């Protein structure tokens, strides 16, 4: 196997010409013969460097408005020919095909064109044919050919050319090929996803180029990586990098806070809200959110949907937390918050979030639509004799937003737009209710006049019976149990209200 290959002939045809000039000049210094097309050819000539038009090599012009330029045996033969295979070499000689040792080609900006909102015809024209074929051909023959498929690798190539006098090693060529196949696979996935929006095929394809290696995964013995562009989502003002567990909690916090429009603060631990309140001012929202469970708030993730001012920052700084997220901070608030070490302070940027969720499971992947539905008073049907008051309907709406984002089985108590307690992740719904009652009592909350929301139906009337005994006056559930009638009868017996929504919000 050939280990070191000297570059004698190069094919260069790129969309992006940034930082290409140093490579052109170095190849010229090395005496490399350069073939090119279109705008790249013009660019190379403007540098005063000799270049051969691909049309002169193939004796065929660029046709179909530039759709066909390099798709020719004299181009692909020179790339794919095996240097140590006698039959290939004989055919190169017979058809006067030069060996091409270096291919620098990138792809039309398909993803950028889609993101720009361009029309369908413009998007289709940005599906690269010749470029991706050249990249795949050169990458396949990495034993003898160097492929550079991204402007991000121009500097690396330039350094290699200078350090090794125009030669490359097999390891270097294989690494370039590895990168090239990543680029082509990502490109093809983007095209497929564009076509798969209408009448989608039942296949799973994802390709995310940006990544960040995490300190570890859920536990120190597990490796962890985040795939995506966190810098587009958050501006970090202070603190260390987000951990795997931070990211999981931050994701849950963002999903929860987006349910609210009035000034709201939520505190989360292990993806569940241990405190949340909506008030006229963000400081009041923080104070009442913390009051729900100040013990669990220790080391939590805090998220607000309004600017953090100095007074609020002073109050927040009184406890230890892992992450604080808000859309904005006053300058004085930032100074206050940065006085504490090991606190991650983030400004949230508005970016479009995925509408699908997926995760590995068994020997495959499961995918679903995000739970994007929330039922307000208009979607609530009263099924009891007692009608909920206007305030109770508002609190039921608030509680329903919280219960939607809490681990099943779950029960949520709320009053005056404040979480009073929740029972989380229990194997029976009645255990979740008992847990919520105990937590409310332990932090001094009076449940008289509060409301209750459940993420799923009540299989038996015991839940509403216990809720009524605790002082709950209104209950929300999706309904749908064969025993709904028993729960309704219990509500009527206890003179409390029940509304059904018809929508379950399991969260596992």
Stated as kind and residue range, the H or E segment containing 429 is helix 429-442
CA dist 224 → 217, 323, 346 (Å): 4, 19, 21
What 3-state class would DSSP assign to 76?
helix
Q: How far apart are CA 213 and CA 243, in angstroms?
A: 10
Using a 10 angstrom Cβ sphere, with 0-12 exposed, 13-18 middle and 19 or more buried, the burial of residue 170 is: middle
DSSP state of 377: G
Q: How far apart are CA 379 and CA 476, in angstroms?
A: 11
Give the bridge partners for 168, in sequence order: 5
Catalytic hit among 8, 17, 140, 340: 140
Cβ proximity of 337 and 316 under 8 Å: yes
What 3-state class would DSSP assign to 358?
strand
Cβ proximity of 80 and 134 under 8 Å: no
Give the 3-state secondary structure of 273-323. Answer: EEEEEECCCHHHHHHHHHHHCCCCCCCEEEEECCCECHHHHHHHCCCCEEE
Q: State yes or no: is 140 an active-site residue.
A: yes
Q: State yes or no: is 270 an active-site residue.
A: yes
Cβ proximity of 393 and 381 under 8 Å: no
Cβ proximity of 263 and 309 under 8 Å: no
Catalytic hit among 8, 151, 270, 340: 270
Q: How far apart are CA 498 and CA 507, in angstroms?
A: 22
CA dist 505 → 273, 374, 409 (Å): 15, 9, 10
> Could you tell me whether strands 381-382 and 497-500 are parallel, antiparallel, or unpaired per DSSP bridges?
antiparallel
Active-site amino acid positions: 140, 270
């Amino acid at each position: 196997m050939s280990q070191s290959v000297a570059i004698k002939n190069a094919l260069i045809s790129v969309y992006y010409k940034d930082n290409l000039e140093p490579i052109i000049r170095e190849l010229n210094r090395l005496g490399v013969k350069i073939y090119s097309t279109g705008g790249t050819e013009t660019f190379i000539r403007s540098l005063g460097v000799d270049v051969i038009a691909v049309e002169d090599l193939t004796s065929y012009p660029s046709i179909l408005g530039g759709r066909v330029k390099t798709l020719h045996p004299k181009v692909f033969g020179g790339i794919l020919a095996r240097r140590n295979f006698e039959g290939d070499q004989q055919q190169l000689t017979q058809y006067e095909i030069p060996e091409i040792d270096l291919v620098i080609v990138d792809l039309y900006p398909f993803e950028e064109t889609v993101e720009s909102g361009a029309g369908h015809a413009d998007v289709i024209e940005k599906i690269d044919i010749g470029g991706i074929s050249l990249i795949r051909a050169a990458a396949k023959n990495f034993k003898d050919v160097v492929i550079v498929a991204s402007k991000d690798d121009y500097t690396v190539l330039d350094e290699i050319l200078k350090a090794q006098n125009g030669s490359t090693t097999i390891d270097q060529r294989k690494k370039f090929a590895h990168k090239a196949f990543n680029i082509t696979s990502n490109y093809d996935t983007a095209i497929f996803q564009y076509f798969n929006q209408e009448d989608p095929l039942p296949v799973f394809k994802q390709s995310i180029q940006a990544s960040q290696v995490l300190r570890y995964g859920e536990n120190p013995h597990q490796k962890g990586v985040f795939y995506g562009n966190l810098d587009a989502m958050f501006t970090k003002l202070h603190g260390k990098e987000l951990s795997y567990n931070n990211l999981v909690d931050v994701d849950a916090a963002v999903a929860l806070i987006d349910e609210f429009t009035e000034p709201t603060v939520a505190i989360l631990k292990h993806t569940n809200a241990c405190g949340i309140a909506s008030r006229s001012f963000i400081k009041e929202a923080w104070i009442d959110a913390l009051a729900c469970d100040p013990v669990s708030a220790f080391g939590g993730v805090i998220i607000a949907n309004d600017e953090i001012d100095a007074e609020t920052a002073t109050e927040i700084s009184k406890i230890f937390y892992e992450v604080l997220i808000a859309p904005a901070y006053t300058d004085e608030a930032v100074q206050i918050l940065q006085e504490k070490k090991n606190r991650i302070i983030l400004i949230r940027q508005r970016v479009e979030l995925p509408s699908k969720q997926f995760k590995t499971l068994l020997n495959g992947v499961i995918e679903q639509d995000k739970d994007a539905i929330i039922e307000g008073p208009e979607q609530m049907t009263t099924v009891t004799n007692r009608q909920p008051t206007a305030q109770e309907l508002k609190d039921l709406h608030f509680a329903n937003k919280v219960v939607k984002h809490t681990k099943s089985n779950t029960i949520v108590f709320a009053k005056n737009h404040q979480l009073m307690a929740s029972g989380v992740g229990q194997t029976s719904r009645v255990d979740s209710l008992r847990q919520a009652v105990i937590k409310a009592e332990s932090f001094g909350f009076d449940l008289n006049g509060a409301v209750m929301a459940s993420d799923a139906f009540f299989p038996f009337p015991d839940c509403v019976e216990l809720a009524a005994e605790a002082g709950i006056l209104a209950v929300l559930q999706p309904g749908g149990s064969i025993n709904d009638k028993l729960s309704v009868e219990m509500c009527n017996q206890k003179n409390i209200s029940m509304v059904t929504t018809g929508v379950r919000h399991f969260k596992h």
